[in-house]
Structure 1
Amino acid sequence: PLHCSGFQPLYRSGFQPLYCSGFQPLHRSGFQLLHRSGFQPLHCSGFQPLHRSGFQPLHCS
């Protein structure tokens, strides 16, 4: 689930694990659907790099 602020909390490791089922399903195209008109590119490793602040900005369209 996404917070109203448009940010999602991340783990201390600086990476957010993605699961095959749950709140963040991945598409075959290698993108994570965040909103109807917003996609977030993911790395092939299945992890997303995050900002130093420990938060990852989300596209809210």
Structure 2
Amino acid sequence: MGIEGDRTKAFCFSVAFIRKFVLASSDLRDLVIDLFFGLRTTLVVDEQLGRTLSAIHTN
């Protein structure tokens, strides 16, 4: 099946990778918006760093 027909997760980012972006773009108690909430990695990072998360996930 080609990429267009495959609905599985195409990308999986590590906690360390996401942490770099959250630290670079937000401060303690900031609201972080995640528009691709599928694997919830950003949720884990935000909880560890004291951020609030607002997330949207659609299929």
TM-score bracket, shorter-length normalisation: under 0.3
Normalized per residue, the structure richer in helix is: 2
TM-score normalized with structure 1 length: 0.25
Normalized per residue, the structure richer in strand is: 1
TM-score normalized with structure 2 length: 0.25
Larger Cα Rg: Structure 1 or Structure 2? 2
